Amino acid sequence: MNHDKHGILDAILNAYDGKNIDLPAPPPALEINNDNTELLMVALESQLGEAANSDYFKCSRERFSHIVKLAMRHVPAGGRLLDIGNAPGFLGLALLKAGFSVDGINLSDAWNSTYPDQECLNRFSVKSCNIEQDHLPYSDGSFDGVVFTEVLEHIAIKAPEQILPEFKRVLKPNGVVLFSTPNVCNLSNIVALAKGLNVFWRPEIFYGSLDRHNREYTPGEVRELFDKCGFQVLDFYGINDHANWRAGAAADIYSFLGRGPNDHPLLRNTIIGVFSPTQ
């Protein structure tokens, strides 16, 4: 990347207004270093074997670590979690290792083949449920937490504010939603557009795919959604997770990251939060 491109990136970063995006860095207590969470992730990698080398696991590892750490921070020891979009079970297995009970929901039975083994389906008591069409198949107050990570962006038919009340219904008093989604306000999207690239999935992937992103959100939109649905913020921050860099802009971003501090808010491409129903 030449000097002029560096200059463009610098101009973008200098123009950033934190008041508009408002996505802070992780609190020091939630930074992922060589702590118990890291030891847990290493043990999970050993359990997964070759699956730990998959692009999905490697790209999601840091996000998994944050969700596990937030669960340990906000959910009672041994608490019961509902993992929405549980397949292929990697995050669920990490939460199991952290001592939680985990039930899994997927859109359809088609996702069952993505688990490392059949035993995972039993461990998570996996059920199929289209959360845009059907009520969650659980009684009121069944769970200490709902894990809703990397799912919001896939919602396509029903407005999300019509879905979140179901989470409130199945949560116990003082239960929480553990949440993550890509941050559309990130530097790689700006760079992609400047290079004439679309920030959405390629047409051959976008149309007809159940795995595509329907809509990505700004930090402000996420806060507004949960507030509208009667949730309060317990934790809210962003991380730099390369899983959410756009491939067409990634080379420029990684080149920029090598030049100095990489903790600028526009590099926080993943929104992470914990929300609790207001009483």
| Among 78, 12, 68, 73, residue whose Cα is nearest residue 40 | 68
Q: Which residues of the chain have pLDDT under 70?
A: 1-8, 32-34, 201, 205-206, 208-210, 243-251, 254-262
**Are 227 and 264 a contacting pair, CB within 8 Å?**
no
In the chain, domain spans: 3-132+141-277
CATH 3.40.50.150 given to domain 3-132+141-277: yes
Distances from the Cα of 185 to the Cαs of 10, 76, 109, 218, 242, in angstroms? 16, 33, 34, 6, 14
Q: What is the pLDDT of residue 243?
A: 65
Residue at 101: amino acid letter: S
Q: What residue has token string 């402000």?
A: 220
**Are 88 and 114 a contacting pair, CB within 8 Å?**
yes
What strands, in cross-sheet order, belong to the sheet with 101-106?
127-128, 101-106, 80-84, 143-149, 171-182, 270-277, 231-239
Q: Give one DSSP letter per residue of 77-105, joined into a string.
A: TT-EEEEET-TT-HHHHHHHHTT-EEEEE
Q: What is the pLDDT of residue 214?
A: 85
